[in-house]
Amino acid sequence: MQLSSPRLRAALLAAASLTLVAAVLPPPKPLGIGDRLFPELGNPGYDVLSYDLSLTYKDNRSPLDAVTTLEARALAPLERVNLDFTHGKVASAEVNGEPARFESAGEDLVLTPAHPIAANTPLRITVRHTSDPRGSADGGWVTTEDGLAMANQADAAHRVFPCNDHPADKAYFTFRVTVPEGYTAVANGLPGALPAARAGGATQWTYRTLHPMATELAQVSIGRSAVLHRTGPHGLPVRDVVPAADRERLEPWLRKTPGHIAWMEDRVGRYPFENYGVLIARARTGFELETQTLSLFENGLFAGEKEGYPEWYVEAIMVHELAHQWFGDSVTPRTWSDLWLNEGHATWYEALYADGLGTSGRARRRRAAPPRPAPGRAAAPPPAAPPAAAPGQKIGLFRPVVYDGSALILYALREEIGTAAFDRVERRWVAEHKDATAGTEDFVRLASQEAGRDLSAFLRPWLYGEKTPPMPGHPDWSAPAAGKTAPGKTV
């Protein structure tokens, strides 16, 4: 039979090529970059440069229609490309403009391109898929009273969109979110265009990040929201997203954020991103989360002292999430074992801020100075060597020792090298690793430089020891007894 259509001939040749390639390759399998805590997270062989994510929302009972496009660079020859993706259905995939075979292996989406990918060449991947907010107890989409929000930490971004879901591979993001009439969509970064009308009264909202971001920090809010604008230090745009019905009640809290930013800048330097704000959702999550430029908070945190938490505590938690914009978002952990650098610093500045509000004598979690007695860590493993979370409890990685125990390391460091050297360490850390990844050894090296001596022998027991070492300058201090660690928050 003569094929008269060039397009039809090309399509059939591409399909035949995919079939032949797939026939000679071994069965697909999930891959990972070898993270100690998440061994199948991330994928080798390529570096993602940017994501373009289009989402169409109908309601909380229906999967979102989605198209995810990755611009990447191959780091090695690739016959297959693995992406992290689960909890959605794939309709089609393309690699460099040609149809690609797609299969699932574990929580990986495995693509077989029509032609092998050479090393050091551009790689463009487009996947048409659904993103299902139902059954999201394991992270990803969070269902709110009026829509959705994202909570992707630690490894749940791939429950929302295909990605290289490890913080070591940061990339720029563009979000295009289409929502029904009466809904507002907000995402990380700045608006990339004015909201555009779509059929049936729908509206598409577009946002772009100006700095690279880890997938676990992505945020998309969909709801009947009010978006409130104000100005922070040096003209920084501050944008808050709250349920429209709650805007007046929440305003006293929202107006505090510019002061919080100024307070942090006095201690560690200029805020690292294009804007900031808080996203307050009507949802019960059990945590607050430092999604980049737009931190997620439970509405219940702001219920007022009679019904919830005292004002000083709420402010301190707001500063905790803000501090993460420097520590965890701008400077991202190279591996999940480096998590102590995120949570220890955020806890440290939370404590300093609370102390400034005069709460030292109140009943609260003591953050920067340890309670006493026994030094054992039987119930609290070393901060820089956390064990993996139990199956089905991935959020269990965020144990109390990752917060209080890590802040204690910073306290010990300050006592050992002095306040002036410690402050230089903090400022250099966020300046030299801005928009990048860094790990524990990088921090030890930098601290040693500022101290003028090798601090490895001093810091190693604090980071990895089975018992809490003696506190410099405080020989009578010791860590909490096993089983008496202060309660922590997953933030």
Q: What per-residue confidence (pLDDT) applies to 489?
A: 44
Q: What is the pLDDT of residues 288-297, one digit of tens each?
A: 999 999 999 9
**Which are the contacts of 167, defined by CB distance < 8 A and separation ≥ 6?**
214, 215, 216, 332, 333, 334, 336, 437
Q: What is the pLDDT of residues 84-119, one digit of tens each?
A: 999 999 999 999 999 999 999 999 999 999 999 999
The answer to whether residues 176 and 129 touch, using CB atoms and an 8 Å cutoff, is no
**Which are the contacts of 99, defined by CB distance < 8 A and separation ≥ 6?**
11, 14, 15, 18, 92, 93, 114
Q: How many CA atoms lie within 13 A of 23 on its CB side?
A: 6
- Read off the tokens for 295: 């931190």
Distance CA 66, CA 130 (A): 5
Supply angle C-alpha 132, 332, 432, rounded to 5.
Answer: 155
Indicate the pLDDT class of residue 19, thresholds 50, 70 and 90: low
Averaged confidence pLDDT in the chain = 88
Altogether, the residues listed in the chain come to a count of: 491
The answer to whether residues 240 and 256 touch, using CB atoms and an 8 Å cutoff, is no
Q: H or E stretch including 205? A: strand 203-208
Please tell me what DSSP assigns to residue 127: E
Supply angle C-alpha 223, 225, 230, rounded to 5.
Answer: 140
Task: Name the least confident of 22-26, 120-124, 216-220.
Answer: 22-26
DSSP lists the bridge partners of residue 40 as none
Q: Is the pLDDT of residue 358 over 80?
A: no
Q: What per-residue confidence (pLDDT) applies to 45?
A: 96
Alpha helices per DSSP H over 64-155: none
Supply angle C-alpha 193, 197, 200, rounded to 5.
Answer: 155
Mean pLDDT computed over 186-201 = 92
Distance CA 213, CA 215 (A): 6
Q: Is the pLDDT of residue 284 over 50?
A: yes
Q: What per-residue confidence (pLDDT) applies to 78?
A: 97
More reliable by pLDDT, 478 or 17: 478
Distance CA 86, CA 89 (A): 8
Alpha helices per DSSP H over 37-186: none
Task: Name the least confident of 101-105, 257-261, 467-471.
Answer: 467-471
**Which are the contacts of 28, defined by CB distance < 8 A and separation ≥ 6?**
80, 82, 103, 105, 108, 110, 112
3-state DSSP helix/strand/coil % of the chain, to nearest 5: 30, 30, 40
Q: Is the pLDDT of residue 146 over 60?
A: yes
Q: Which 3 state secondary structure label does DSSP give 5?
A: coil
Q: Is the pLDDT of residue 486 over 80?
A: no
Q: Is the pLDDT of residue 123 over 70?
A: yes
- Read off the tokens for 380: 């609290």
β-pairing, 203-208 vs 190-197, is antiparallel
Rg over alpha carbons for the chain, rounded to the nearest Å, is: 24
Please tell me what DSSP assigns to residue 362: S
Q: What is the pLDDT of residues 454-463, one digit of tens each?
A: 999 999 999 9
Report the share of the chain in percent with pLDDT over 70. 86
Q: What is the pLDDT of residues 263-283, one digit of tens each?
A: 999 999 999 999 999 999 999
Q: H or E stretch including 415? A: helix 406-417
DSSP lists the bridge partners of residue 474 as 471
Q: What is the pLDDT of residues 420-468, one digit of tens each?
A: 999 999 999 999 999 999 999 999 999 999 999 999 999 999 999 988 8
Distance CA 122, CA 113 (A): 13
Mean pLDDT computed over 174-201 = 94
Q: Which 3 state secondary structure label does DSSP give 236?
A: coil
The torsion defined by the Cα of 166, 167, 171 and 176, in degrees rounded to 10, comes to 70
Q: Is the pLDDT of residue 361 over 50?
A: no
Distance CA 440, CA 140 (A): 27
Q: What per-residue confidence (pLDDT) applies to 178?
A: 98
Q: What is the pLDDT of residues 32-69, one digit of tens each?
A: 999 999 999 999 999 999 999 999 999 999 999 999 99
The answer to whether residues 283 and 341 touch, using CB atoms and an 8 Å cutoff, is no
Number of H helices, E strands in the chain: 10, 21
Please tell me what DSSP assigns to residue 303: S
